[in-house]
Copies of this chain bind each other. A is one copy, B any other.
Amino acid sequence: MAYRIGIDIGGTKIASGLVDENYRILLKKTIPTLSERPYMEIIEDMAQMVRELISEAGIDSSEIAGIGIGCAGAPDRKNGTILYSNNLGWYNVPLAGELRKLLGIPVSIDNDANAAALGETLAGSAKGSSCVVMITLGTGVGGGIIIDGKIFAGSHHTGAEAGHHVIVSGGEPCTCGRKGCYEAYASTTALIRMAEKSARMHPESQLASSLKENGRLNGMLIFNAVHQGDETARKVLDEYLFYVSEGLVNLVNIFDPEKIVIGGGISAQGELILEPVRRRLAQDVFCKAVPLPEVVCATLGNDAGIIGAAYV
């Protein structure tokens, strides 16, 4: 049995796992990133994590076929460097090379959203599919594209940024500098913006009471209001899902995937999210002569990033 190690590094934490050939995580570890530190300290912590995984599993490092890292940011896969990462404040960091030097094990890198899409395809909600579009709805909108069972990210491996396609030209400002990106309408940040605006316009609503009580809204408060029948919250959710679907129809017209996977905290809402999206796809997709893609929620949570990273 050959094992692999997957590492998922973001601005807040580093999660890692020992993964077997059946894409199961046998052992898992998480440490804080403390991203303000020099990058070599972070890489040394990653090496220490890997050593602990190996030692606690009671295996030899020669049984590790490779280490893969999913990193928030733009990877140069060929050279093993992170070209830049907003979340980590990194610029041209030789991540793979330095970790390989410390451990003597081959190291590959990729973007974290790409790794998550691969993880869901290998072992989760899209198992058995070869053409998959995954969007992760969180603070931003992450995109991962699987074609022929492999990550697709273009000629420099910096594409698949589905969150940064404009759907409302001239619309809400996006973190990337453009206006009207999918991310500016389909992220949870966007949902909260819509909900707070609507709460202010409808002071009689539960959403408004919730905003008053908590100072700010969040996903949980908004979905609580929806589940308790608040009409204002329901309309906000409808508006939000209109935009989520608008971008998904675009991606179906472009990628004609077998499966669409929706990830992020919001995916816990299941059918409340999926049903309106499916209805919209059936209505709006360009080619109605072939079966629609199946729309599902991600099932692996944070494990997707570890399992996928192990195989990048």
**Residues of A that sit less than 8 Å from B by CB:** 74, 76, 83-84, 130-131, 143, 145, 147, 152-162, 164-169, 171, 176-178, 185, 243, 246, 249-258, 284, 286-287, 289-291, 293
* Residues in B whose Cβ lies below 8 Å from that of A250: 164-166
Pull 24 A–B residue pairs with CB atoms less than 8 Å apart, ordered by A.
A74-B290, A83-B287, A83-B289, A130-B155, A131-B154, A145-B254, A147-B152, A153-B256, A154-B254, A155-B256, A155-B257, A155-B293, A156-B287, A156-B290, A158-B286, A159-B254, A159-B255, A161-B253, A161-B286, A166-B167, A166-B246, A167-B167, A168-B169, A178-B284
* Residues in B whose Cβ lies below 8 Å from that of A166: 167, 246, 249-250
* Residues in B whose Cβ lies below 8 Å from that of A256: 153-160
* Residues in B whose Cβ lies below 8 Å from that of A286: 158, 161, 164, 176
Q: Is the interface of A mostly helix, strand, loop or mixed?
A: loop
Structural contact, A254 and B257, CB atoms closer than 8 A: no
> Complex formed: what's the CA distance from A30 to B45 in Å?
68
* Residues in B whose Cβ lies below 8 Å from that of A153: 256
* Residues in B whose Cβ lies below 8 Å from that of A290: 74, 76, 83, 156, 158
**Knowing that A165-B253, A165-B254 are A-B contacts, what are 4 other residue pairs whose CB atoms are under 8 Å apart, sorted by A's residue number?**
A143-B254, A161-B287, A166-B249, A169-B243
Known A166-B249, A167-B167, A169-B246; contact A158-B287, beta-carbon cutoff 8 A? yes
